[in-house]
Amino acid sequence: MRTIAKHSAVAAAAAAVVAMTAAPATAAEADYTILSEGHVDVIGIAYEAGELELHVHDEETDAEYAPGEVLLKANNEAKTTVPAGYDFIGAPGSNAWILPDTEVEGLLFAGIGTEEIALGDLVGDSVTLTVHDAVGRGDVALYNVDDFGNPEVRFDSNDGAGSWEVAAASHGHLNWAFTKSGIYKLTVEAEGVDAATGESVSTGEVDYWFWVEA
């Protein structure tokens, strides 16, 4: 069954990592909407009236949230072992929780959507997406797999920030890998250049919270 719930206990779990993160001061009091399965644009990017904005779009219910309102859950069914050739995640055979770039029943199908950026609004019809940091109990890696089965790493928490270009008016998916259960905070930013004015625009750094089930 799909989980979409307000759960104050999760806020307490997030508060447990405040000591090692820059979590909001209100984390202990806040309620979060938990998204645990189904198609969700985890990183939704919109551009309107000169403002670039990040949000979370639940494709199942057509609900939209600010990133700070949502806890994105990797259910225990995501637990697997690291395959050979994926050393950037961990040692082959070691545990990892992976949200795949293909839809799997019972798991969050985590996407990136720029459908709310009209073609012609930004120079090059693209934005630069940066994951600045990931803080949690383990390591985090975001990657695609090419047609030959080779991983293309977008972000590896062991290597620092990772940036890549995302086309406007597009939709895609990544593999999201975590090496330990627990709460994680990912800091994300989208940047572009307004085609009409030539001015740089940015969402600023925005925090996303993930809960990897033990």
Q: What is the DSSP letter of 19?
A: G
Long-range contacts of 116-119, Cβ-Cβ distance < 8 Å, separation of 24 or more: 116/44, 116/45, 116/46, 116/47, 116/48, 117/45, 117/46, 117/47, 117/168, 117/169, 117/192, 118/47, 118/168, 118/169, 119/168, 119/169
What pLDDT score does 27 carry?
37
DSSP-derived letter for residue 83 is: P
pLDDT in 10s for each residue of the chain, 214 residues: 233 444 444 444 455 444 333 333 333 345 789 999 999 999 999 999 999 999 999 999 999 999 999 999 999 999 999 999 999 999 999 999 999 999 999 999 999 999 999 999 999 999 999 999 999 999 999 999 999 999 999 999 999 999 999 999 999 999 999 999 999 999 999 999 999 999 999 999 999 999 999 8
Write down the pTM of the prediction: 0.86
**Where along the chain do its domains lie?**
4-212
